[in-house]
């Protein structure tokens, strides 16, 4: 039995079957990511002032990944065009570039961007204790500028209260930190030139010691509010936060806040789409390319359909990038 | 779709049926089949079994409502002896947890595992390619993947009854924060617990329906036989087309919501968990900052179009059956097609009428009550057109037609009782009462399920080559019609008196409180309703016997036992792989019954009208 219009278009619709199929599938994908992004909007609009973080993601890396995806979107079209012109070797080359771009994107996400977040720690301070940490939060200054308050102290955890799930991370970071001090020859107490104190561990058993992010180290620096392209350097300053003053503390993982919840959910699902696309491309580049011998037009159609999916994945990233990295 | 691609199949006229004479093995022919008819039957059998299971859950609940705390006769012992489920049935009586579990799973199973698989996936898979003259679905292997993905979701849902703690208990709507914290305490597995498995099963179910709906739409657009233009399609195909679009576009937001809730439960995020959530007087571990209302928006964005997913295939079946048995075209075919388009569009902008009680604000409520009233217009057009189709027909009361005629008033009652609910002010009073339960069950139970029965009786001869027994069918129909009204009609009386849908003791204990005193005089209906439900169960026995007995012993039929006009009756019964054994071309509309001047009272779509167009009278010609 032969299904009609598998390769050639039906005259009255002008489409072959799988091209219609992928457009329908993409329509449902639009609704899926539409649902996810509406979650983003809902959560962000509902966030209390100060509870939606800014500037935590690495913009240069994200920009590079954006460029990588756009390049791959171009090369996948080139691969399709090469097939249409029956230039098999060129097809192989362009497809390979596309695959490599996809792998670079995933590699950067999984080996750099995600682990960097998992290392990071943030403690939301209870509302009635905010004034105790004014030196790290700068809320008086922010209030005078009519800006949202700062309610979180974030950075790398160097010590955690006894029995907290973060003890192991803190210990590892503290070791790493000592090592770094030794290598760079920075004496304790000098920090990064701002006269900050470096304190690796405290005697008390219920303190968080956090090596501060720049925004907490210099809370009244106007540069905190300006968008910055390059990520700011980690400071050598630490803060001691009493566990009793903490409303909620966690590594930068989904449970940290709705921001990271939606960040990991959307980028994770997007990453799965990239992975799916890459696997399909690898098939079309490798064993699937034998179809060229029998029916080059059919292979071209397949690449076109997979390419449409790839463009969609690219397009989703075009929304993800500003929403999470820039805004 | 790839294997014999070199052979160009682009011609509009194609022949088939002679290049697959090789026999497929048992597994490929009946289990992992890519044939749309086999897949349709697989969906039908699975879905009908789930309808029976969902009905069984409800019977246990109805026993509890009529006889609170009393052990369930006969079945109570069986339930008590089952692993895990038994915990909820001490001594064979239903506990509160058991009631919640069965209630949540009754809704889930009936909607997502019973009615949609049968009304959409089963009847659609079986009939749509035949009705448009296609050899199969556009993507046969994706079609198979759809069924097996659905099957995995079924296994997950059934398995969830047997994990520690039992199946989901937070209602079929899974409202957070309750659904976020349920089944997570000590003694529950972090992943293999009822609510998390519910979410996992739903994600698989949604994926299956996505694969199915892409296939349906692509098939209807691409594989219509030569001459089968859009307005010559049978109305059933139209309803399946629109249903597929609804599923395609409405289900993904629920998938998004399901993923969010899954994250909340497994990774401790706070999509739906509000700040400062206290459970058992202890602050929970969630960071907070989420919004329970977000779930409701995403859920009902699916679940309102879902209502039309449930009813549209039913209306399609009824239109086929009515045209065939009144021996005249359905009234207002074009208007009906327009009406289902309007219905589909409007169904996307009415979802928040399920949320009047959430305090989302009077302005929002005003918008949604306006659109909700608007959507009643196309619904009324559909039911009116079906009713008018009866007018002047010489009606044959076959079993499918009995179900179809009963469908109309039943759907009418369900629809008309929905109109008061559209209004914010009325809904605040009726919200979550048995009035709601009665309203939507009239739509889906004597509505859609009767349409499903009509469809099964109607297409059974095509699927098996044998007719179902007429007498058993009539017994099944009359017994079902009477008892089903015995269940659902008293719900309106109870609901208007304020009986709440979640009183697991049937309302008896709540009567001590002054607020609930109004419900007192209507509680005695519980016994009547529960007895009716039990009798409805008995009424299905003739159907079950008939269904299996007729496979071997039914009266043998030819291609067209109903003297019908649509294309599926041009194929052999049962149709072979590839469907048609002759060239199919369509000459005219789907319901050319009693064409004046024609030799017989039906003119199949594949046969040119015998009288030439010029001499064919426009109106019935006077006898001369």
The CA-CA-CA angle for residues B324, B329, B331, to 5°, reads 120
B217 touches chain A (CB under 8 A): yes
CA–CA gap between residue B34 and residue B32 (Å, rounded) = 7
Using the predicted structure, report yes or no on whether residue A192 has a pLDDT greater than 90: no
Q: What is the DSSP string of A133-184?
A: GHHHH-HHHHHHTTPPP--EEEEEEEE--TT-TTHHHHHHHHHHHHHHHHHH
Confidence of residue B519 (pLDDT cuts 50, 70, 90): confident
B359-395 residue pLDDT tens = 888 899 999 999 999 999 999 999 999 999 999 999 9
Query: Does the ipTM exceed 0.85?
Result: yes
B76 touches chain A (CB under 8 A): no
B438-466 residue pLDDT tens = 999 999 999 999 999 999 999 999 999 99
B415 and B314 Cβ atoms separated by less than 8 Å: no
Pairing of strands A246-251, A238-242: unpaired
B145 touches chain A (CB under 8 A): no
CA distances from A94 to A19, A22, A288, B305, B479 (A): 21, 22, 15, 43, 68
3-class DSSP state for residue A283? helix
- For residues B488, B489, B491 and B494, what is the CA-based torsion angle, rounded to 10 degrees? -160
Residues B583-598 have a mean pLDDT of 92
- Over pLDDT 90: what percentage of chain B? 84
How far is the alpha carbon of A244 from chain B, nearest alpha carbon, in Å? 14
**B17-21, B132-136, B398-402, B429-433: which has the minimum mean pLDDT?**
B17-21
**For chain A, counts of helices (H) and of strands (E):** 11, 5
Q: What are phi and psi of B282, to 5 degrees?
A: -125, 140
Element (H, E) at B390: helix B362-390
- Is B6 within 8 Å of A294 when comparing Cβ atoms? yes
The CA-CA-CA angle for residues A233, A236, A240, to 5°, reads 120
- Is B218 within 8 Å of A21 when comparing Cβ atoms? yes
- Is A2 within 8 Å of B4 when comparing Cβ atoms? yes
Q: Is B3 exposed, middle or buried (0-12, 13-18, 19+ CB in 10 A)?
A: exposed
The listed range with the strongest mean pLDDT (A204-218, B229-243, B269-283) is B229-243
Structure token digits, residue B459? 């297409």
Residues B192-207 have a mean pLDDT of 96
Confidence of residue A294 (pLDDT cuts 50, 70, 90): very high
B253 touches chain A (CB under 8 A): yes
- Bigger pLDDT: A2 vs B210: B210
CA–CA gap between residue B220 and residue B241 (Å, rounded) = 7
A122-141 residue pLDDT tens = 999 999 999 999 999 999 99
Using the predicted structure, report yes or no on whether residue B398 has a pLDDT greater than 70: yes
CA–CA gap between residue A20 and residue A27 (Å, rounded) = 11
Name all contacts of A13-19 with Cβ < 8 Å and 24+ positions apart: A13/B221, A13/B222, A15/B221, A15/B222, A16/A301, A17/B1, A17/B138, A17/B139, A17/B218, A17/B222, A18/A301, A18/A302, A18/A305, A18/B1, A18/B139, A19/A301, A19/A304, A19/A305, A19/A308
B274 touches chain A (CB under 8 A): no
Residue of chain B with shortest Cα separation from A257? B287
Q: What is the DSSP string of B301-348?
A: HHHHHHHHHHHHHHHHHHHHHHHHHHTSPPTTHHHHHHHHHHHHHHHT
- Is B2 within 8 Å of A298 when comparing Cβ atoms? yes
Residues B577-590 have a mean pLDDT of 93
> In this predicted structure, what is the pLDDT of residue A197?
53
Residues B519-541 have a mean pLDDT of 94
Domains of chain A in start order, with CATH, are 17-118+258-326 (1.20.120.80), 121-251 (no CATH)
Q: Is B264 exposed, middle or buried (0-12, 13-18, 19+ CB in 10 A)?
A: buried
- Is A43 within 8 Å of B289 when comparing Cβ atoms? yes
Using the predicted structure, report yes or no on whether residue A191 has a pLDDT greater than 50: no
Q: Is A168 exposed, middle or buried (0-12, 13-18, 19+ CB in 10 A)?
A: exposed
Confidence of residue A202 (pLDDT cuts 50, 70, 90): low
B449 and B51 Cβ atoms separated by less than 8 Å: yes
Start-to-end CA distance of chain A, whole Å, equals 54
Using the predicted structure, report yes or no on whether residue A226 has a pLDDT greater than 80: no
How far is the alpha carbon of A160 from chain B, nearest alpha carbon, in Å? 18
B7 touches chain A (CB under 8 A): yes
CA–CA gap between residue B109 and residue B157 (Å, rounded) = 8
Can you say how many angstroms the Cα of residue B239 is from the centroid of all Cα atoms in its chain? Answer: 13
Residues B170-190 have a mean pLDDT of 92
From the list A1, A257, A260, which residue is nearest B135 (CB)? Answer: A1
Using the predicted structure, report yes or no on whether residue B20 has a pLDDT greater than 80: no
Residue showing tokens 């959307």: A266
> In this predicted structure, what is the pLDDT of residue A205?
74
Can you say how many angstroms the Cα of residue B9 is from the centroid of all Cα atoms in its chain? Answer: 36
Name the residue among A71, A58, A172, A163 with its Cα closest to residue A116: A58
CA distances from B90 to B76, B79, B81 (A): 9, 9, 10
Element (H, E) at B531: helix B525-553
- Bigger pLDDT: B429 vs A234: B429
Name the residue among B334, B473, B441, B612 with its Cα closest to residue B54: B441
> In this predicted structure, what is the pLDDT of residue A327?
84
CA–CA gap between residue A214 and residue A155 (Å, rounded) = 9
> In this predicted structure, what is the pLDDT of residue A235?
83
Q: What is the 3-state secondary structure (H, E, C) of B404-440?
A: HHHHHHHHHHHHHCHHHHHCHHHHHHHCCEHHHHHHH
Confidence of residue B555 (pLDDT cuts 50, 70, 90): very high
- Over pLDDT 90: what percentage of chain A? 68
From the list A8, A13, A47, which residue is nearest B8 (CB)? Answer: A8
A25 and A277 Cβ atoms separated by less than 8 Å: no
B125 and B108 Cβ atoms separated by less than 8 Å: no
**A186-200, A254-268, B147-161, B191-205: which has the minimum mean pLDDT?**
A186-200
Using the predicted structure, report yes or no on whether residue A198 has a pLDDT greater than 70: no
Confidence of residue A108 (pLDDT cuts 50, 70, 90): very high
Paired with B167 in beta bridges are B194
A37-67 residue pLDDT tens = 999 999 999 999 889 988 888 899 999 999 9
The CA-CA-CA angle for residues B477, B480, B486, to 5°, reads 145
Q: What are phi and psi of B279, to 5 degrees?
A: -125, 135
Q: What are phi and psi of B35, to 5 degrees?
A: -75, 125
B373-382 residue pLDDT tens = 999 999 999 9
- Bigger pLDDT: B1 vs B48: B48
DSSP B72: P
**A280-294, B438-452, B494-508: which has the minimum mean pLDDT?**
B494-508
Q: Which residues contact A311 (CB under 8 A, 6 or more apart)?
A: A73, A76
Confidence of residue B610 (pLDDT cuts 50, 70, 90): low
Q: Which residues contact B327 (CB under 8 A, 6 or more apart)?
A: B393, B394, B396, B593, B594, B601, B602
DSSP A249: E
> In this predicted structure, what is the pLDDT of residue B25?
86
Using the predicted structure, report yes or no on whether residue B609 has a pLDDT greater than 90: no
> In this predicted structure, what is the pLDDT of residue A199?
63
Other Cβ atoms closer than 10 A to A172: 14
3-class DSSP state for residue A279? helix
Residues A83-99 have a mean pLDDT of 97
> In this predicted structure, what is the pLDDT of residue B360?
85
> In this predicted structure, what is the pLDDT of residue B4?
43
Residue showing tokens 């009272």: B601
> In this predicted structure, what is the pLDDT of residue B510?
72
Other Cβ atoms closer than 10 A to B326: 24
Residues B275-282 have a mean pLDDT of 87
- Is B297 within 8 Å of A21 when comparing Cβ atoms? no
B140 touches chain A (CB under 8 A): yes
- Bigger pLDDT: A14 vs A182: A14
Work out whether the CA dihedral B314, B315, B320, B321 comes out positive or negative.
positive
**B133-137, B350-354, B497-501: which has the minimum mean pLDDT?**
B497-501
Using the predicted structure, report yes or no on whether residue B7 has a pLDDT greater than 80: no
Confidence of residue A182 (pLDDT cuts 50, 70, 90): low
Confidence of residue B10 (pLDDT cuts 50, 70, 90): very low
Confidence of residue A230 (pLDDT cuts 50, 70, 90): confident
- Over pLDDT 70: what percentage of chain B? 94
- Over pLDDT 70: what percentage of chain A? 92
Q: What is the DSSP string of A12-70?
A: TT---HHHHHHHHHHHHHHHHHHHHHHHHHHHHHHSPTT-S--S-S-HHHHHHHHHHHH
> In this predicted structure, what is the pLDDT of residue A2?
87
Using the predicted structure, report yes or no on whether residue B162 has a pLDDT greater than 90: yes
The CA-CA-CA angle for residues A279, A280, A282, to 5°, reads 65
Query: Which residues of chain B are within 8 Å of residue A2 when distances are taken between CB atoms?
Result: 4, 7, 9, 14, 16, 19, 135
Structure token digits, residue B513? 């409180």
Name the residue among B381, B391, B384 with its Cα closest to residue B337: B381
Disruptive mutation site among A31, A38, A292 for chain B (greatest number of B CBs within 10 Å): A31
How far is the alpha carbon of A96 from chain B, nearest alpha carbon, in Å? 23
Confidence of residue B13 (pLDDT cuts 50, 70, 90): very low
Structure token digits, residue A25? 């599938």
Using the predicted structure, report yes or no on whether residue B280 has a pLDDT greater than 60: yes
The listed range with the strongest mean pLDDT (A208-217, B62-71, B283-292) is B62-71
Residues A151-156 have a mean pLDDT of 92
The CA-CA-CA angle for residues A240, A241, A243, to 5°, reads 140
Using the predicted structure, report yes or no on whether residue B622 has a pLDDT greater than 60: no
> In this predicted structure, what is the pLDDT of residue B35?
95
Paired with A123 in beta bridges are A153, A249
The residue length of chain A stands at 327
Residues B525-538 have a mean pLDDT of 96
> In this predicted structure, what is the pLDDT of residue A184?
53
CA–CA gap between residue A297 and residue B267 (Å, rounded) = 46
The residue length of chain B stands at 624
Using the predicted structure, report yes or no on whether residue A1 has a pLDDT greater than 80: no
B233-261 residue pLDDT tens = 999 999 999 999 999 999 999 999 999 99
Confidence of residue A181 (pLDDT cuts 50, 70, 90): low
């Amino acid at each position: 039995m032969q299904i009609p219009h598998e390769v050639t278009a039906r005259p009255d619709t002008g489409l072959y079957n799988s091209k219609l199929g992928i457009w329908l599938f993409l329509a449902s994908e639009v609704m899926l990511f539409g649902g996810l992004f509406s979650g983003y909007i809902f959560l962000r609009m509902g966030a209390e002032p100060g509870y939606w973080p800014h500037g935590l993601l690495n913009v240069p890396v994200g920009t590079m990944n954006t460029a990588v995806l756009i390049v791959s979107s171009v090369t996948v079209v080139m691969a399709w065009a090469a097939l249409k012109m029956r230039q098999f070797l060129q097809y192989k080359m362009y497809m390979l570039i596309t695959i490599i771009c996809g792998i670079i994107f995933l590699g950067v996400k999984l080996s750099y961007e995600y682990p960097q977040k998992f290392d990071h720690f943030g403690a939301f301070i209870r509302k009635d204790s905010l004034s105790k940490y004014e030196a790290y939060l700068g809320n008086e200054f922010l209030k005078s500028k009519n800006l949202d308050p700062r309610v979180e102290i974030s950075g790398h955890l160097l010590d955690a209260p006894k029995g907290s799930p973060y003890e192991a991370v803190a210990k590892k970071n503290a070791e790493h930190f000592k090592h770094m001090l030794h290598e760079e020859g920075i004496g304790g107490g000098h920090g990064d030139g701002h006269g900050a104190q470096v304190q690796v561990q405290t005697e008390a058993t219920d303190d968080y010691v956090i090596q501060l992010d720049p925004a907490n180290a210099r809370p009244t620096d106007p540069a905190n509010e300006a968008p910055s392209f390059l990520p700011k350097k980690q400071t050598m300053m630490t803060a001691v936060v009493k566990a009793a003053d903490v409303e909620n503390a966690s590594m930068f993982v989904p449970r940290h806040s709705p921001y990271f919840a939606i960040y990991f959910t959307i980028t994770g699902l997007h990453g799965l789409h990239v992975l799916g696309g890459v696997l399909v491309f690898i098939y079309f580049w490798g064993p699937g390319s034998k179809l060229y011998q029998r029916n080059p037009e059919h292979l071209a159609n397949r690449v076109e359909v997979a390419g449409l999916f790839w463009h969609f994945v690219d397009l989703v990233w075009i929304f993800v990038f500003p929403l999470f990295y820039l805004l | 779709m790839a294997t014999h691609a070199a052979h160009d199949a682009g011609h509009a006229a194609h022949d088939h049926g002679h290049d697959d004479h090789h026999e497929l093995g048992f597994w490929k022919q009946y289990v992992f089949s890519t044939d749309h008819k086999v897949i349709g039957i697989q969906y039908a059998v699975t879905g009908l079994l789930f309808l029976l299971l969902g009905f069984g859950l409800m019977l246990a609940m109805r026993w509890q409502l009529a006889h609170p705390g009393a052990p369930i006769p006969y079945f109570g012992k069986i339930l008590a002896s089952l692993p895990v489920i038994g915990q909820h049935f001490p001594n064979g009586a239903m506990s509160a947890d058991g009631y919640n579990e069965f209630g949540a799973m009754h809704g889930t199973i009936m909607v997502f595992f019973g009615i949609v698989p049968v009304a959409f996936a089963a009847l659609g898979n079986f009939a749509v390619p035949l009705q448009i003259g296609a050899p199969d679905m556009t993507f046969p292997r994706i079609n198979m993947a759809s069924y097996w993905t659905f099957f995995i979701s079924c296994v997950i849902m059934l398995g969830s009854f047997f994990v520690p703690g039992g199946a989901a208990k937070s209602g079929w709507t899974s409202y957070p924060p309750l659904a976020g914290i349920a089944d997570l305490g000590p003694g529950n597995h972090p992943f293999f617990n009822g609510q998390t498995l519910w979410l996992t099963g739903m994600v698989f179910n949604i994926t299956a329906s996505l694969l199915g709906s892409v296939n349906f739409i692509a098939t209807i657009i691409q594989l219509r036989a030569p001459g089968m233009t859009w307005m010559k399609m049978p109305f059933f195909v139209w309803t399946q087309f629109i249903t597929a679009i609804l599923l395609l576009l409405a289900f993904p937001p629920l998938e998004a919501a399901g993923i969010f809730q899954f994250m909340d439960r497994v990774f401790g995020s706070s999509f739906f968990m509000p700040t400062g959530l206290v459970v058992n007087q202890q602050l929970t571990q969630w960071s907070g900052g989420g919004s329970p209302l977000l779930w409701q928006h995403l859920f009902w964005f699916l679940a309102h179009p879902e209502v039309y997913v449930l009813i549209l295939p039913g209306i399609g079946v009824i239109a086929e059956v009515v045209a065939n048995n009144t021996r005249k075209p359905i009234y207002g075919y074009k208007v009906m097609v327009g009406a289902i388009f309007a219905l589909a569009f409007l169904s996307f902008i009415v979802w928040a009428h399920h949320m009047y009680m959430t305090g989302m604000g009077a302005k929002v409520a005003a918008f949604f009550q306006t659109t909700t009233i608007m959507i009643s217009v196309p619904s009324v057009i559909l039911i009116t057109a079906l009713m008018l189709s009866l007018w002047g027909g010489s009606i044959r009361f076959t079993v499918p037609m009995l179900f179809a005629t009963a469908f109309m008033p039943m759907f009418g009652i369900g629809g008309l009782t929905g109109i008061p609910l559209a209004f914010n002010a009325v809904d605040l009073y009726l919200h979550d009462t048995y009035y709601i339960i009665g309203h939507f069950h009239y739509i889906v139970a004597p509505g859609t399920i009767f349409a499903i029965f009509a469809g099964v009786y109607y297409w059974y001869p095509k699927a098996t080559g044998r007719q179902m027994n007429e007498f058993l069918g009539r017994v099944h129909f009359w017994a079902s019609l009477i008892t089903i009204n015995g269940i659902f009609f008293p719900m309106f009386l109870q609901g208007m008196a304020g009986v709440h849908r979640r009183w697991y003791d049937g309302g008896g204990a709540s009567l001590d409180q002054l607020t609930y005193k109004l419900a007192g005089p209507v509680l005695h209906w519980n016994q009547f309703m529960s007895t009716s439900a039990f009798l409805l169960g008995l009424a299905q026995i003739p159907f079950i016997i008939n269904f299996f007995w007729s496979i071997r012993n039914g009266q043998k039929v030819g291609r067209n036992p109903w003297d019908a006009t649509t294309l599926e009756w041009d194929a052999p019964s049962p149709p072979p792989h590839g469907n048609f054994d002759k060239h199919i071309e369509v000459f005219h509309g789907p319901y050319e019954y009693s064409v004046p001047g024609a030799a017989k009272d039906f003119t199949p779509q594949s046969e040119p009208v015998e009288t030439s167009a010029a001499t064919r009278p426009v109106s019935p010609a006077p006898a001369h």
